[in-house]
Amino acid sequence: MTLLDPGWEAPLDGGSLPSPFDELGPSPLARQAAEVLQRELREGWVAPGVATAPLEGHEGGKMFGVLVVRLPEGRLGFLRAFSGMLAGRWDVEGYVPPLFDREARASLEPQGEATVKALFARAEAMRASPELLTLRAAHAEQSARHASEIVALRERHEVRRKQRHARRAELTEAASKSSTPEASAHAAELRDSLHALDQESRGDKAERRRLEATHASERSSLEPKLLRLERRLRALDRLRHMVSRAVMRRIHDTYVITNARGERRLLRSLYERAQPPSGAADCAAPKLLAYAQAHGLRPVALAEFWWGAPPPSGGRVTGAYYAACRDKCGPLLPFMLDGLFVARPRTFTPPSTTPGSLSILFEDRWLVVVAKPHGLLSVPGREASLSDSVLTRLKARYPDATGPLLVHRLDLDTSGLLVAALDARTHSALQRQFVHREVHKRYVAWVDGIVTGEQGRIDFPMRVDLDDRPRQIHDPIHGKPAVTEWRVIERRGDRTRVAFFPLTGRTHQLRVHAAHPLGLGAPIVGDRLYGRDGERLMLHAESLTLLHPGTGERVTFDSPVPF
């Protein structure tokens, strides 16, 4: 517990606790408490004897949290916590403890972990065994040889088939022209020749059957041995997964969750199919709330922030605040908070209207180029109040236009050039150019950090974060290709002005490529999703070059950068 100065008082909000899922950031009181902890972290220490340096390593940083509480005598203080383990320890001086029953976990975790590790070691030993490796190599060589022999035989037979086809045509044509007394003799010869060709065809089929039989015989001497070992390996893997799940169920049952009403539930009972995700109840927020409830402290305000290197998927920045996670804490925190007056979570919503008219930079009978201001949607939102958009304004201005109008979109927070087509044929022609990467686009941004190098290429796949929409993350397995070229324009203080040239058009591509360590490692200034919120997102679509579908000319449009 860190006691706060008497001058720190909770705002008069009716006594409600701001929601942990509030997307607009923590309350000023929670920020003040978090800044106390962040100042300590900047000095290089999480706690006495525990340095922050490992948080900057390859394993990445960690989520920290603070909970402002009111003591029974009325004074304010705050608790601190970290997610999971820190430096291989559950307990660190000055931080609240984990939720699980230590004695129960200590009695089962070592044995369970040892069993899982032993099964894993057995499986790995089998994977690396000379017998299995030899059989796999022999099977691969055999399969390749069989495939090659089949292809070669098929090619030879195809040549013969064509030769037979040509010979049949010659014989048939010769017979049709023959009208001499020897015609009956020619007919007999024709029948014999055609029969010989049929025999040759049947011979090819017999040859194919003999080769397939030879292959089957060869496989029968190898495949059963290999399949037997593969089945044993799969059985070991299944057994390890079953044991691991059983151990995790028992570990999860060492977490007994208590809510503000004093009701108690096992952790697994709070999740669908009684299967909590890995790390459930080990986040900072549930640790903090459990400690406060156990010690008679009334929660007043909560804040969670990231500290250290971003995770491999990206999307986290040192010192930035984040709402509680939906996958782990979504089912858990509502139960823990039951009995407290919790405010409704605030969510980000675009403004219902954006002042000012749409700036038309170019228009003819085929297309229109507009300069979109930041804060204006490209297309209407789902809610009726979010009808104002570029598309809505274009429809009002061009009521006779046909087709979908907008050819591409910009994020709400991004300003700059947008192209619209006034007829369906022009729209299709422009979309083909975008799909085939024939449109040259230049964006300009200020990023928060000093970028190393003068220019480069960022190329890593991305997908939506299913647990935290609309954020996008790096995913080398399931992600879609995303490629951006960049060039430094200017460096000023601790910021860098960068030109981006996207070669693909993934959602939030430039924002993720800027923030992720595989990219620039410097989020765009004002990026509320991948960096720190600000007055605006400093990203602008400055230039666009394309082939005009109506005139066939290569045209370039420019929009001055407003920052």
- Residues serving a catalytic function are 411
Residues 216 and 241: their CA atoms lie apart, in Å, by 35
DSSP 526: B
Quote the CA–CA distance of 67 and 78 in Å, as a whole number: 5
| CA 300 – CA 340 distance, rounded (Å) | 10
**Cβ atoms of 136 and 270 closer than 8 Å:** no
Cis omega (within 30 of 0) on the bond before 54? Answer: no
Report the C-alpha gap between 295 and 401 in whole angstroms: 67
**To 10 degrees, the CA torsion angle through 270, 271, 275, 277?**
-100
Judge contact between 523 and 515, C-beta under 8 A: yes
Q: Which residue has the tokens 């007829």?
A: 423
Residue 461 neighbours by CB under 8 Å, 6+ apart: 474, 475, 476, 478, 479, 480, 481, 482
Q: How many CA atoms lie within 13 A of 395 on its CB side?
A: 12
CA distance 440 to 449: 27
Cα dihedral 247→237→129→217 (10° resolution): 160
Assign 79 to helix, strand or coil: strand
**Chain-centre distance of CA 484, in angstroms?**
17
The three-point CA angle 467-472-473 to 5° equals: 85
CB 104 within 8 A of CB 35: no
73 Ramachandran zone, left/alpha/beta (phi>0; psi -120 to 50)? alpha
Structure-block tokens of residue 389? 């958009």
In angstroms, the CA 321 to CA 181 distance is 104
Residue 250, judged by CB atoms within 10 A of its CB (0-12, 13-18, 19+), counts as middle
Q: Are 495 and 449 in contact (CB under 8 A)?
A: yes
